[in-house]
Amino acid sequence: MNMKDIHDVAKQSERIYRHVFLQKYNKSAKIVYGFVEGKDDPSFYKGIIDNLLLPFEWHIEITIVGNKEKVLNVHKLFDWTRFPKKRIIFFVDRDLSEILKEPIPDEMNIYITDNYSIENDMVNRYTCGRVLEEVCNITELAHNEKECILSKFDEQLEIFGREMSLIMAWIIYWKRNNLKPELDKIEMNKLFVFNTGQLVKCSNPIPINNVKTIHELCEIDFNSNCDITEALADFNKADGVKRFIRGKYLLWFLVEYVLSIRQSIDRFSSSYKKPPTMTSNLHHKNAIIMIAPRVKAPASLRNFLEDTCIYYAKNVNTE
């Protein structure tokens, strides 16, 4: 299959998503509509939109289309003279677009995350505190004990970001050279472990500085002559440790940190002799579902929603 065939197949799948949307679109129903990239995205966006912002009798229906390119292509397929833009909204990750100098869409009904992905806005001390209390059932901490744990979270997250800078620089280099790394195959639990809330680099099976092995994991041929100095400099210049670590890697960090604290809670609090029973099991497969309801929506997302679907729901009967 040549590149033209691949693009034709992609366009056909995007038309199918639009066709499915048209079949369920109801002009008079109290529904707004959204398109997202992946299967985990609705857990974050739907909860915020339905539960916090939309008027009670309204709800949002979300369609998952697979990736950012498909979301943007579906947007292009719409005849916006026929549909109200504020009612049909699109959500995409920023990824590394700024660093790679890729075009960033500027449409009033497309939300682009502030940082690499929406997971980046989930991984912070506020969310950590809520997950510890509401999922790990750690509810008897003294104020100073909780502050100690959350300060340690901030400290270890900074360390994790610095350690991941090298991998992110390689990802930038690969993408600039039109390579397609299998990023999901870089498994964090093969690079790091937690010990009493402390991030520890693995020496076995994969040291994080083993560049050749990282290439093998991503199914990229290793070339010892490759130079990522420029990519690393661009990553750092863009405040990459805070903004452009891949969101899925950060989510791994959050899950492992809170589980490590729970397991060793007697080292952090005199109120516990053993780990409390969790209210629900937390693991990487259900992390978004468990954590998303405990996340504060970033200001940019709230503003976007208030200018689009919230405005539409509140004003459609009066315009």
Tell me the pLDDT of the chain averaged across its residues: 91
What pLDDT, in 10s, does the model give residues 136-192?
999 999 999 999 999 999 999 999 999 999 999 999 999 999 999 999 999 999 889
Copy the structure tokens of residue 63: 């369609």
What pLDDT, in 10s, does the model give residues 78-137?
999 999 999 999 999 999 999 999 999 999 999 999 999 999 999 999 999 999 999 999
Res 212: pLDDT:
86
**Residue 64 β-bridge partners:** 36
Reported pTM: 0.91
The answer to whether the beta carbons of residues 181 and 171 sit under 8 Å apart is: yes
User: What value, to the nearest 5°, has the Cα angle with vertex 173 and ends 210 and 111?
Assistant: 115
Res 71: pLDDT:
95
Res 16: pLDDT:
85
Spatial CA neighbour of 29 closest among 64, 51, 57: 57
- The 10 Å Cβ neighbour count of residue 228 is 19
Report the distance separating Cα 281 and Cα 287, nearest Å. Answer: 10
Res 180: pLDDT:
92
Positions of E strands within the chain: 31-36, 59-64, 88-92, 110-112, 192-195, 198-201
Res 207: pLDDT:
67
